[in-house]
Structure 1
Amino acid sequence: MASELSDPEILAHVEKFWAGRKPHSPIYQFLLEDIQLTHASKGVVRARLLLTNNHVNAHGGIHGSVSATLVDWVGGMAIAAWDNRMKTGVSTDIHISYQTSAKDGDWIEVEGRAGKVGGTLAFTTATIWKVVNDQPGPVIATGSHTKFVRV
């Protein structure tokens, strides 16, 4: 995880962007109601979430669809943080590699990075960690997300 400092202006923009989006997305309201943005800098966003019963599968581990939702969400947030835009496009491609799990009651951290934001496409990567001793611990999943941003 990079050590760049959070930019208060970008963080304020991303928080405003998220506040405007959440009411229009029932799935985000259900899964990410309590997500806490903790960092924003140019093209980088981090957030933490306490996993609940709503986030786990029948085996008690974080559901793959929750990880996919987080990769989708944080990719859009990273694009918003790229240049303070209010439109982050639509998904064209998403890939996720699941590496370990987390359970109800665990804190997780997700980071999104916009690698390139062009006039047509934006490319982001995401990492989801289990939080251990208030620090990023084992990687739960990594992902990549491409969005069509000329909308």
Structure 2
Amino acid sequence: MIPTAASRSPELVQKVLKSFIGAGGYDALVLPKLKVINSEEGRVSAEFQVEKQHLNRLESVHGGLLATVVDIGGSLAIASKGLFATGVSTDINISYISGVKQGETINVDARVDKLGKTLAFTTVEMYSKGRL
């Protein structure tokens, strides 16, 4: 199926995000307030505020949460190409550069680098206060 322009709309990205959260699993537990800010074909921007449940014992955002955001962000970028079924992650590589504290906002920029028949390659970057 070749996606139509209508199926690549921001509404599809919202529908996919709602399906993640509506499934009631881990995504719903940690990111019910993830908000899509912008969506265009192959790119999605989102944000969320760091809350107490997102922190590790050092009072900084938990790396596992950020890995989940990378996973979801990549899926939303794929959805922006017109696909509701975004697949599963086969490999995630993350570099943590600086910590983020409770109350800060994390901005998420996700893009599709390549979309093949069976695999998609995505890049997700996160910022807080303008820094990685």
* TM-score normalized by the length of structure 2: 0.90
The within-5 A match list for 1:14-93 is 14-82=13-81, 84-93=82-91
Alpha-carbon distance in 2 for matches of 1:52, 1:126: 21
Structure 1 equivalent of residue 123 of structure 2: 125
Matching residue within 107, 114, 138 for 2:131: 138
| AA aligned opposite 2:15 | K
Any unmatched runs of 5+ in structure 2? 1-7
Gap change, CA 1:25 and 1:118, over 3 Å in 2: farther
Alpha-carbon distance in 2 for matches of 1:15, 1:121: 22
Deviation at 1:14, TM superposition (A): 0.4
Q: Report the more deviating stretch, 11-20 or 109-118.
A: 11-20
Structure 2 equivalent of residue 110 of structure 1: 108
- RMSD between aligned alpha carbons? 1.1
The structure with the greater share of residues assigned to strand is 1
Whether 1:99 and 2:92 are equivalent positions in the alignment is no
Which structure has more relative contact order (CA 8 Å, sep 6+)? It is 2
Deviation at 1:118, TM superposition (A): 0.6
Which of structure 1's runs of 4+ aligned residues deviate more than 3 A?
A: none
SS at match of 1:103: coil
| AA aligned opposite 1:107 | T
SS at match of 2:92: strand
